[in-house]
Structure 1
Amino acid sequence: MFSKEELDCFRNHLHEINDSNSFPEECEFQLFLDKSLSTLENESPSYRPVGSDCKPGGLLDFSSEKIPSIIVPDIHARADFLLKLLDFKIEDESVLSLLNEKKIFVICVGDAFHSEMRGYERWIAAYKDWSMDVYAGQPMQEEMKENISTLMIIMELKNNFTENFHFLKGNHENIFNESSHGNLAFRKFVQEGSMCCDFIRQVYGDVILHLISLWEKALPVCALFYDFAVSHAEPACCFSRKQIVDYHKNDDVVLGLTWTANDAAEKGSVKKLFKNLNPSAKRSGVLWFGGHRPVKDGKYLLRQDGTYLQLHNPNEMNVAIVVPEKKFNPEIDIKSVL
């Protein structure tokens, strides 16, 4: 636990990462990624059950905890979203202070990289460069500065508040742009997945690429609480608890919790999956939170007969605040951190 002075220094450090105009040096970045990977690989089995491969599994289980939680939708290179969240106050205490005191959980649904529509013109300019084998031109440097700053802030929060800050794997956690291990190669406006991979390879090399990929694959894919759960995307179907814990051996789990399109999930998958994960919970009022597909108007969408809540509006900085034993009301419990 940080002292007040140490916490202020840590907050300033995060802002310095975001404000810096330069990229981390390769050696510094490698050490930082090694440390961040080690954090994920050594999470406590008390809340992250170990899979049959003796590694931390895909499930975070906080079903017996009784402290509030904040669910953060897709980040997409918005480091300022995270920084504003840390300063956001709940009953006169900042989220950063609550994290430090272990009085709150912060669960991010994933997608650290790719500015998407916000950076549309920049992506088009970067694609022109990339088409001519210029992988680290000015537009791509601007994009990757946002991506890497966001990634480092996420990792710093995880390294320092390991039990209370969590970042789930999203479909954009795929630095190699591969179509394997539950991943699908990604493009939206241009060739964003390949462009980011080529930038890292040219600027840093294959070692850094490999470490980022290992970190991505070490991320959990689902967080369970007493009467709600979180994943990046709507659960495609009903998996068993063992399948989710053993996600490294079940590519369908990774795919089915990170890539599900609207209206593509099996009917009733949320209720069935939640019952598999937490059979002792009450059945009424259960909610499953996710992002992935954007909400174009408003703060949220309800799917699956009101059991799945889509939270991701890329034009806003909204989070869901869930308090134990209090019925979640999306109209008042989804709040902007601006």
Structure 2
Amino acid sequence: MAREGARPAYDPAGHDTALRATLQELRTGRWMSMRRLLTETTAWWQWTRRTQVLATAAAGTDVVRTWLEEEPHSVPATVMHARVCVERALRAHREGHPHTLDLWHEAWRASHTATRAAPPDPVPWVCLMALARLDRERQWAEHRVAPPGPMLPPGPWGLLAEADKRDPYNREAHHRMLQFLYEHGTSGRLAEAAGYAHWAADTAPPGSALHLLPLYVRVERYRRSGGRDAALDLHWVAEDATREAQRALYAWFEQTFTAERSLLDLNHVAHALWGALQFTDATRLFEALGPYWTPQPWAYRTPDQGDTAQAVEIFLQARARCRPA
């Protein structure tokens, strides 16, 4: 565990030291380390996570384009090109950029190219899932497919099925579906997203990160409230909130190894257990985090949800409160 009072660091690589070294190389414009790392990555959960983190770092550069030009038949380069195009389209969407539509279509073409270049790979389908949220009116037929179960809304279920076929219970694919429902749900109370999160968690096997989806919806509900209503703090200690936190602890945390756990998931479970006053259990999550943290969900507990300095203070207060337990 981080030493007493030590301020945590945000590192997208987290406990993945090989990924951290590759990111350092990437930031200097070199792609050889990225190719080597991806060639050595065999587990789909790790491949999905590493390509996402690398694309986030590479989106503001031409390093992946250079790699693809040097090795036009490289499957990892083709997948990374799709990843980067999707990241750029999503950034443009968030910023209201006038070229969002062009970037969206470019990313869609790159993702479909990747599906053909890498048939067994779930990531190109995850990319298409990520782009689905840009279709605000659900004009594309693939974004309004009938759901696989009752009480679920139409959505990009076919894309999710393709990702699941290649990597069952792929964490990012299901989070992309959740993000789609946040933007496209018909209920302002996040009812569709909540229903989906519980459905996915109920169908997930032990050790799956999908057991955490209800925690993410709970945090999203709090974020949308602005955290201004003190009465909302009660929902962190409500019976269903405590049950969701305990489920995440026993069905996910206790069934996984350090390398498998994302920092964002660890932070959400630590936050949920702390909010539910389960301090002894929360300490285990803080120990697993070690010197790292992520601004979310802690930032949503502050008056200014974009203030990282305030967010880290909330994190430190929570960690200190749990340690004596």
Task: Give TM-score scaled by structure 1 length.
Answer: 0.31
Task: Give TM-score scaled by structure 2 length.
Answer: 0.32
Higher strand share: 1
RCO greater where, 1 or 2, for CA within 8 Å and sep 6 or more? 1
Higher helix share: 2
